[in-house]
Amino acid sequence: MSNRFPAVNYKDVIKIAKKLDFYFCRQAKGSHEIWRRDEDGRHTTIPNHGKKSIKRRTLKAILKDLQISLKEFVILRDK
């Protein structure tokens, strides 16, 4: 597997967030959304820019908030 970050959009990210029991909590400023998980209180901000790709650095921050690796993300995305 390549160490490169895949091109993903909003729908890809929320699909994984839902698989990890995160839910839409509230609308933040602009086109950003706060997603939360009650089990441990974790939350993340996901930009809703439609079909536009999420930037690599933003995706890296989201993965850190979700506490999953890039490899785990790719596996969950392909399921």
Domain assignment of residue 39, given as a range: 10-78
Reported as a single tens digit per residue, the pLDDT across 3-37 is 788 899 999 999 999 999 999 999 999 999 999 99
Asked if residue 5 belongs to a domain, the reply is no
Reported as a single tens digit per residue, the pLDDT across 54-65 is 999 999 999 999
Instruction: Give the sign of the dihedral formed by CA 52, CA 18, CA 61, CA 25.
Output: positive
CATH of the domain at 44: 3.30.920.30
Domain count, the chain: 1
pLDDT of the residue at 2: 60
* Whether this model's pTM surpasses 0.75: yes
What is the DSSP annotation of 22-48?
Answer: -EEEEE-STTEEEEE-TTT--EEEEE-
Asked if residue 31 belongs to a domain, the reply is yes
